[in-house]
Every structure is written in structure tokens, then in C-alpha cells.
């Protein structure tokens, strides 16, 4: 969470998955202002996790960087551009009621 905050992620939330899924303990969802920022946040997060824990994380979606998934084992991080985040609305899918409102641009998807 601190790494994403340092990289100016927007609307960062942590969703506890205990009792809902065995894939991870937590899912973190955050937005970046552009594909470039999303890619940069994902790469920096992976580097910081490796430095602090020695774990190598898996990253999916980096080439397009509209939606990047960072699998850090116990925590899965989803980084989105705002309109893509609104379209998929993972927060609602996992029963998390504090989903951010859809930006006006999302209506065009």
C-alpha cells in the first residue's frame, strides 16, 4: 500500500479475501492516470517486493498496461486505468461496497 501511495496511485483499496477465496489473503485495487503510470507502478512494486522479501512476483498485462495484475502470493494487486477499472468493477464483484464511482469517460466503453 505504501509503495502505491508513493507512486501516487489513486483510489487504492484493500479487499480482504479470507472466507471468499483461497487465491490470496488480500486483493489491492488501485488506479493510475495513464497506461505509462500503471506500468511504472507495477514495475516499481515488483522491485520493492523483491528488495524487501526476496520474492519474485509475477506481472501480467504489462505491454498494454490498461489492467496490470501483480501476483505477490498472499496479496494480488490490480492496477487499472480509471475507465478500465470502472468497466470491470472488481470491487463490486468481490462484494466490497466502497467501489469508486465511474468516471464520465467509462460510459464510452
**Average pLDDT, stretch 20-32?**
89
- Asked whether the predicted pLDDT for residue 19 surpasses 90, the reply is no
Q: What is the number of alpha carbons within 13 Å of residue 102 lying toward its C-beta?
A: 13
pTM of the model as a whole: 0.82
Averaged pLDDT score across all residues of the chain: 86
For residues 21 and 37, give the distance between their C-alpha atoms in angstroms, rounded to a whole number: 29
Q: Alpha-carbon torsion 109, 35, 33, 14, what sign?
A: positive
**Average pLDDT, stretch 31-36?**
95
Amino acid at each position: 500500500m505504501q509503495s502505491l501511495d508513493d507512486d501516487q496511485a489513486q483510489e487504492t483499496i484493500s479487499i480482504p479475501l479470507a472466507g471468499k477465496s483461497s487465491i490470496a489473503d488480500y486483493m489491492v485495487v488501485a488506479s493510475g492516470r495513464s497506461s505509462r503510470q500503471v506500468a511504472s507502478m507495477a514495475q516499481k512494486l515488483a522491485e520493492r517486493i523483491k528488495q524487501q522479501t526476496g520474492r519474485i512476483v509475477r506481472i501480467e498485462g504489462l505491454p498494454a498496461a490498461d489492467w496490470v495484475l501483480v501476483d505477490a502470493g498472499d496479496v494480488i494487486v490490480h492496477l487499472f486505468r480509471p475507465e478500465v477499472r470502472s468497466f470491470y468493477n472488481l470491487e463490486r464483484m468481490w462484494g466490497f461496497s466502497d467501489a469508486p464511482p465511474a468516471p464520465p469517460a467509462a460510459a464510452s466503453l
